[in-house]
Amino acid sequence: MKFAVMSDSHDNIWNLRKALEGISVAHCDLIIHCGDFVAPFMFDELVRAGIPVHCVFGNNDGDRFLLTKKAAGSNGVITLYGAIGEIEISGIRLAFVHEEEVAQGLAALGKYDMVCFGHTHKHFRDKKGSTVLLNPGEVMGKDGSPGFCIVNLEKHIIQRVPIK
């Protein structure tokens, strides 16, 4: 089982398309998005890719009503959780949020195997107890090298994938 983790797209439709192409080529089963899509048209790109997306709001997601409406009309492709998402993937308990402070708090609970977050636009990976903390960096490309992460649960590998 492989899944992608991304964050902070900020309307960069071109980088999102490149990321989705890489995720498709890598045969990821789903995508975790840690917020800051910004405009609802970004959901159109995710729906076209056809890979299930589990996501949360970021602090720059302005039209939450339309984002929610688009997610609800995605025929199950997009699942939008609000501020905190929680799922289980192949026995791995995963939480995902936008802000690092919330992620740190969730990791401190010891309830999750992995907690993903965004907001800082910087790739970050650490461990708090037995919980992996992961920020995939930004898709946008404003503050550094744009990219995302692929988590391979079978091989126990987390790989950062640059967007070129």
What's the full length of the chain, in residues?
164
The number of distinct structural domains making up the chain is: 1
Looking at residue 143, its pLDDT comes to: 80
Distance CA 133, CA 17 (A): 26
Q: What predicted TM-score, i.e. pTM, was given to this entire model?
A: 0.97
CATH code for the domain of 154: 3.60.21.10
What are the 10-residue block averages of pLDDT along the chain, 164 residues in total?
97 98 97 97 96 98 95 97 97 97 97 98 96 98 92 96 96
Helix, strand, coil content of the chain in percent (nearest 5)? 25, 30, 45
Q: Beta partners for 159?
A: 150
CB hemisphere CA count around 10 (13 angstroms): 16
Looking at residue 65, its pLDDT comes to: 96
β-strand pairing of 157-162 with 147-152: antiparallel
Q: Which residues have CB under 8 Å from 156's CB, separation 6+?
A: none
Assign 45 to helix, strand or coil. helix
Q: Which domain holds residue 71?
A: 2-162
